[in-house]
């Protein structure tokens, strides 16, 4: 099939003759005053209406408050730097703000002007580059206001924008500013209509009628607000024309005030005559017109207090629909800025084949207030102690400071996730079981110091310890819903009882009974002591690999493990009680059974994550158990020296990377760096880092 090299149809209605011109007005815009460019002054007036001003502010302020960044994925650093520096945007992942500068564009000011496309349907900016440094760097995006544009040039066959003209007296054959120099934002473009469709267009009829009603209401108040003075002739009198003239002058001169008064001519009485009968309720009609304007912009929540129907659930529905529209608009702005601004900066310097960093937006309409409750929920759900990519995303979305030493994710091609060089693909369950059961052959004596990453069978001691820890944690988490069921049921019953008696203060006293906590500690003790025994056996194997025979003490580290397990059981129970109270307070006013069901659901979900309240505390217990088991052996079988071992990958914090490989001459010196918790004393990565002491016999 031969590819077409030309087009024959027409898409620009302006070029198709007078007959089609009238049809264009009927199809695309039936109000002549709203056809471009006549629409520009009309929308300029409309945006000053209080209701429409609130609508526009609701749209633009939310979009300006969002987080706009450069996504560096798949692009070279120098390309990303040129685009970010020219547009005044931060690079995603580099959360520390850079120094202020005068060059380039202020994205905040540019975005404010670009969002006027919502008001007028379009917004135009002319690009300017600075080539004094040998590179073409963006130095300006100069606004070309809508009321200064006299003609929009469009290719009649393709419908593509060719440029604009501001000087109406110039030759209109070619554009004054060509499209390749323009950044053109357009709202709801249809075909070749690059003038766009204003957000205010559906509100035009309501605004026009409201303007008339406002004038009528003002005149009615001035004319009839206090009534009209009337001079009425008494029955049986026959006033002369002079008396009628005098009475009329008195009525016209009548005014209210502290010193006001009047003396009527003989035969007349003065009355203040008001309106009689019913009159149109102009204010209610104007409120209804305002509601139509809000509805046209998907902002019905502005009028919930003015309508007969309204509820919290309905308000949330309005907000959800509004936020979806905001997100779509933000993505359209980001796409236009990427294709027309960022892409041209790259094309100027590196050609059309160079990948272009995208402009991305996040946090549209979100609230980023950092509260103690929000942080507690993030910690409980594992949000701030999970994998580095997720933690970096949360910190970026919430504008939290970046953790010192956290490695930034490496840029990759769009849609491709490359594994870290230090990461190994997860093994299948059958492979894990087989590897755990595989006997470790005795290594021959080496002349050099033993290496944890160079065993004869290709399996490191670090990998074995990590595998034992992972398997123990997985086994315990699989059983956790059943183990925690009595605790969940007890706290749910207490929450239901507090709601039934109507005393929310009792929710602050929720706590698990001693018997339930003790029962919860039993499986924690068992898992910890079993893992401590495996860790102790591992030290014996490491010594055997160095041709040294040592003994394993009975129940290595059991006392320390049991104390840690009891503490973890109490910590988890206290966290469950806090979660039950918080959930109950959020449902204040709901039925007691509904509160109980929600508390039970929330507490059950706490144990489903590998991190969070349950996962992190269990992981801490198991790490301490491994350390206690190894320490029990080393205390009875002193080694010649001890080496700190930290697996250096992108999950490891800088202090742990720095101490990796450090040798200590005594066990006391090693324990000073690795206290009884088994973790490096200066560790900043918490559960992300799990180092241990390697004995050298």
Lowest mean pLDDT among 63-72, 266-275, 310-319, 471-480: 310-319
pLDDT > 50? residue 429: no
Q: Write b or e for each residue in 565-577: b if 16 or more Cβ atoms lie within 10 A of its Cβ, otherwise e.
A: bbbbbbebbebbb
Dump pLDDT digits (tens) for 156-203: 788 889 898 887 666 677 888 899 999 999 998 888 888 888 888 888
Lowest mean pLDDT among 41-50, 91-100, 535-544, 659-668: 91-100
As a whole number, mean pLDDT of residues 81-95 equals 83
Six-digit token string for 626: 């491994």
Residue 333 confidence (pLDDT): 93
**Of the candidates 192, 137, 622, which has an alpha carbon nearest to the alpha carbon of residue 345?**
137
As a whole number, mean pLDDT of residues 479-503 equals 86
pLDDT > 90? residue 339: yes
pLDDT > 80? residue 279: no
Higher pLDDT, 73 or 442: 73
- Concatenating the DSSP letter of every residue in 175-198 gives -SEEGGGEEEEESS-BTTBTT---
Higher pLDDT, 192 or 504: 192
Residue 61 confidence (pLDDT): 86
- Concatenating the DSSP letter of every residue in 553-595 gives PSSTTHHHHHHHHHHHHHHHHHHHHHHHHHHHHHTTTS-HHHH
Lowest mean pLDDT among 243-257, 440-454, 553-567, 578-592: 440-454
pLDDT > 60? residue 147: yes
3-state secondary structure of 163: strand
Higher pLDDT, 162 or 228: 162
Rounded Cα–Cα distance for residues 108 and 87 (Å): 10
Indicate the pTM of the whole model. Answer: 0.51
37 preceded by a cis bond (ω within 30 of 0): yes
Higher pLDDT, 649 or 170: 170
As a whole number, mean pLDDT of residues 389-394 equals 61
Rounded Cα–Cα distance for residues 182 and 180 (Å): 6
Residue owning tokens 């390697």: 694
**Of the candidates 62, 111, 59, which has an alpha carbon nearest to the alpha carbon of residue 296?**
59
pLDDT > 50? residue 407: no
**Of the candidates 48, 46, 51, 32, which has an alpha carbon nearest to the alpha carbon of residue 208?**
46
Confirm if 308 and 65 have CB atoms less than 8 A apart. no
Residue 200 vs residues 34, 204, 226: alpha-carbon distances, Å? 11, 7, 37
Q: Is the dihedral of CA 347, 350, 352, 353 positive or negative?
A: negative
Confirm if 13 and 192 have CB atoms less than 8 A apart. yes
Residue 184 confidence (pLDDT): 93
Higher pLDDT, 670 or 617: 617
**By percentage, how much of the chain surpasses pLDDT 70?**
72
| First and final C-alpha spacing in the chain | 76
pLDDT > 70? residue 421: no
Confirm if 152 and 182 have CB atoms less than 8 A apart. no
Residue 649: is it exposed, middle or buried by C-beta count within 10 angstroms (0-12/13-18/19+)?
middle
Residue 689 vs residues 378, 647, 653, 681: alpha-carbon distances, Å? 20, 8, 7, 11
Dump pLDDT digits (tens) for 340-351: 999 999 999 999
**Of the candidates 641, 631, 666, which has an alpha carbon nearest to the alpha carbon of residue 449?**
641
Rounded Cα–Cα distance for residues 508 and 313 (Å): 28
Confidence band for 616, pLDDT divided at 50, 70 and 90: confident
Rounded Cα–Cα distance for residues 438 and 432 (Å): 10
Residue 23 confidence (pLDDT): 45
Higher pLDDT, 630 or 12: 630
Confidence band for 277, pLDDT divided at 50, 70 and 90: low
Rounded Cα–Cα distance for residues 243 and 433 (Å): 119
What angle is formed at CA 579 by the lines to CA 576 and CA 581, rounded to 5 degrees?
110
**By percentage, how much of the chain surpasses pLDDT 90?**
10
DSSP letter, residue 372: H
Average pLDDT of the chain to the nearest whole number: 76
């Amino acid at each position: 099939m031969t590819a077409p090299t030309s087009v024959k149809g027409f898409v620009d209605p302006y070029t198709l003759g007078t007959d089609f011109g009238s049809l264009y007005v009927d199809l695309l815009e039936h109000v002549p005053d709203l056809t471009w460019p006549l629409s520009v002054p009309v929308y300029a007036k409309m945006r000053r209406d209080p209701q429409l001003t609130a609508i526009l502010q609701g749209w633009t302020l939310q979009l300006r408050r969002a987080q706009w960044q450069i996504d560096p994925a798949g692009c070279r650093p120098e390309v990303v730097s040129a685009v970010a520096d020219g547009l005044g945007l931060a690079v995603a992942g580099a959360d520390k703000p850079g120094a202020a500068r005068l060059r380039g564009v202020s994205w905040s000011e540019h975005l404010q002007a670009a969002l006027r496309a919502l008001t007028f349907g379009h917004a135009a900016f002319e690009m300017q580059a600075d080539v004094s440094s040998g590179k073409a760097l963006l130095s300006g995006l100069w606004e070309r206001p809508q009321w200064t544009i006299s003609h929009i040039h469009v290719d009649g066959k393709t419908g593509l924008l060719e440029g604009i003209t501001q000087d109406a007296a110039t030759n209109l054959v070619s554009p004054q500013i060509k499209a390749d120099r323009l950044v053109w934002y357009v709202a709801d473009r249809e075909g070749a209509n690059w003038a766009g469709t204003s957000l205010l267009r559906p509100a035009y009829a309501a605004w026009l009628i409201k303007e008339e009603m406002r004038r009528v209401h003002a005149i009615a108040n001035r004319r009839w607000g206090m009534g009209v003075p009337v001079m009425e002739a008494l029955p049986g009198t026959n006033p002369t024309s002079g008396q009628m003239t005098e009475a009329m002058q008195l009525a016209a001169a009548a005014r209210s005030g502290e010193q006001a008064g009047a003396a009527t001519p003989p035969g007349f009485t003065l009355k203040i005559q008001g309106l009689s009968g019913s009159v149109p309720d102009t204010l209610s009609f104007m409120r209804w017109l305002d509601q139509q304007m809000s509805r046209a912009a998907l902002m019905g929540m502005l009028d919930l207090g003015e309508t007969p129907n309204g509820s919290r659930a309905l308000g949330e529905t309005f907000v959800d629909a509004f936020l979806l529209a905001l997100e779509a608009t933000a993505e359209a702005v980001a796409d236009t800025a990427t294709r027309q601004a960022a892409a041209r900066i790259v094309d100027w310097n590196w050609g059309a084949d160079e990948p272009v960093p995208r402009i991305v937006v996040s946090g549209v309409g979100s609230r980023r207030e950092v509260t103690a409750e929000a942080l507690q929920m993030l910690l409980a759900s594992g949000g701030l102690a999970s994998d580095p990519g997720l933690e970096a995303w949360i910190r970026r979305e919430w504008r939290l400071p970046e953790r010192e030493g956290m490695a930034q994710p490496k840029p990759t091609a769009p849609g491709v996730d490359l594994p870290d060089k230090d990461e190994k693909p997860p093994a299948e369950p059958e492979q894990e079981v087989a590897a755990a059961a595989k006997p470790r052959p005795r290594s021959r004596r080496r002349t050099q110091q033993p290496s944890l990453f160079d065993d004869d069978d290709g399996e490191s001691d670090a990998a074995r310890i990590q595998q034992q820890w992972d398997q123990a944690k997985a086994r315990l988490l699989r059983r956790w819903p059943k183990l925690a069921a009595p605790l969940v049921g007890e706290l749910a019953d207490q929450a239901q009882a507090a709601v039934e008696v109507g005393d929310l203060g009792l929710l602050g006293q929720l706590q698990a009974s001693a018997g339930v906590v003790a029962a919860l500690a039993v499986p924690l003790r068992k898992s910890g002591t079993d893992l401590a025994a495996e860790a102790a056996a591992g030290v014996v194997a490491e010594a055997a690999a160095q041709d040294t025979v040592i003994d394993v003490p009975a129940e290595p580290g059991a006392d320390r493990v049991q104390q840690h397990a009891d503490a973890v059981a109490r910590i988890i129970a206290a966290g469950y009680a806090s979660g039950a109270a918080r959930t109950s307070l959020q449902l204040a006013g709901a039925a007691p059974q509904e509160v109980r069901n929600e508390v039970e659901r929330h507490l059950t979900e706490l144990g489903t994550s590998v991190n969070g309240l349950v996962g992190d505390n269990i992981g801490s217990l198991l790490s301490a158990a491994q350390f206690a088991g190894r320490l029990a052996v080393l205390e009875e079988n002193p080694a010649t020296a001890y080496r700190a071992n930290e697996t250096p990958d992108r999950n490891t914090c800088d202090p742990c990377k720095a101490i990796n490989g450090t040798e200590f001459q005594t066990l006391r010196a090693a324990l000073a760096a690795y206290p009884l918790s088994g973790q490096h004393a200066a560790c900043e990565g918490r559960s992300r880092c799990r180092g241990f002491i390697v004995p050298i016999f």
